[in-house]
Amino acid sequence: EIKRAPRQPDIPHPQGHFPPRSLPTASTRPNMFSIVAAKPTIFASSARRSAVSKRRAKLTACPRASAEEIPAESVVARSDQNVSFTRRDALLAALAVPLVMRDAPAFAETKKRAGAAGAAPKTSEESFASLRSDIEALMKKDGDFGPTMVRLAWHSSGTYDKMSKTGGSGGGTIRFKEELAHGGNAGLDKAVARLEPIKRKHPEISYADLFAYVGVVAIETMGGPKLKFSYGRVDEMDPNAVTPDGRLPDADVGDGPGPKERDHLRAIFNRMGFDDQEIVALSGAHALGRCHADASGYVGPWSGTPLLFNNSYFVLLKGLKWAPNDEAAKFQYKDPSGQLMMLPSDIALIEDAKFKKYVDVYAKDQKKFFAHFADAFEKLESLGTSGLTPLSA
């Protein structure tokens, strides 16, 4: 039994009496101790001791400790008022220790998981230097993959709608099967699959940044202009964000390069925010690659150097005589040798006077074409993005 000091008169708090803090209850702390809460009341010293004793008696024992296990010797008696506060504080401390011990492992695990979730390496200049090396290595292994990467970058960005602010390169949605199923993306599922090992090697880089950056690296590696690139795109995780099919330009919307074809080109590119000059400049990427029957249905290359980015597209478009290819499965044009081809959308550029003036400029001046293409391509890859960080190298 604790030996108590003689009773001292209650000394009022200088700012008035404050009720003692009530203990947590089962209703306010699920899965804690079953505690009968005490009604907060101003107690005289003897009444306060009695209330604490009753409260201790009603505690349900904790599996690891209980209120009754508190040694009486641990309570220091100084004055009647101090005894009640010290005993109450000791009681609360004893109850808190097993609770903390019980919850500590779970808390540590939660903290560990939270740290792991935010522990992904931060994207940096070094990340893209390493990524570039891997992309270039892939191109050395398969040179024909370069033009495909340009097409992937183009199509991942060319879905933007400036009115609804939807689409563009910001979410990397072209990796979803819903978007790969769009008619204009035929064959790009293989390109996305081939980039998957590189993506796993660089988890800090988003799919959206990857799809945009492969186009930059491919164009530069194949002799094109130095392109500006900015990173920080955030991947969209919901396939429902995929835009409707039909936002990419069609190679043929009629029988040949008539007014419908020219109107279609302007409608598609104006929707993204491009003018006539930018339409023609971006079309210059057709210097690369070739059409495949199992993808677009068209067959053949635009130029004799399909792995070299230059102004040959405009030189050939303007300088050769193009005639309909009656032997092709889909309506397309052929040059006198029958080795090269042009699409109806290509011929539309020399049938429309406003387009043709830029074809003439780029056919004569590759340097100017490179400059205009670089600006237009940077704009294309920025569609649907915000807050990007420019890559210095």
Q: What own/partner pairs with CB < 8 Å and gap ≥ 24 does 57-66 have?
A: 59/33, 59/34, 59/35, 59/95, 60/33, 60/34, 60/35, 62/33, 62/95, 62/98, 62/99, 63/98, 64/98, 64/101, 64/102, 65/94, 65/97, 65/98
Strand partners, 389: 231
309 and 319 in contact (C-beta within 8 Å)?
no
Q: H-helix or E-strand containing 48?
A: helix 45-57
Q: Is 302 a known active-site residue?
A: yes
Res 88: pLDDT: 58
Q: Is 154 a known active-site residue?
A: no
Res 253: pLDDT: 82
Res 47: pLDDT: 47
Q: How much is the pTM?
A: 0.70
Please tell me which residue in 264, 286, 302, 322 is annotated as part of the active site.
302
C-alpha separations of 38 from 13, 52, 70, 75, 364 in Å:
21, 9, 20, 21, 92
Per-residue pLDDT of the chain (393 residues; tens, 9 = 90+): 455 555 555 544 444 444 444 444 444 444 433 333 334 333 344 444 454 445 544 444 444 444 344 344 443 344 444 444 456 555 555 555 444 444 444 434 433 433 333 334 577 889 999 999 999 999 999 989 999 999 999 999 999 999 999 999 999 999 999 999 999 999 999 999 999 999 999 999 999 999 999 999 999 999 999 999 999 999 999 999 999 999 999 988 866 667 889 999 999 999 999 999 999 999 999 999 999 998 899 999 999 999 999 999 999 999 999 999 999 999 999 999 999 999 999 999 999 999 999 999 999 999 999 999 999 999 999 999 999 999 986
Res 91: pLDDT: 52
Res 124: pLDDT: 83
Domains observed in the chain: 1-119 (no CATH), 125-390 (1.10.420.10)
Please tell me which residue in 155, 182, 264, 286 is annotated as part of the active site.
155
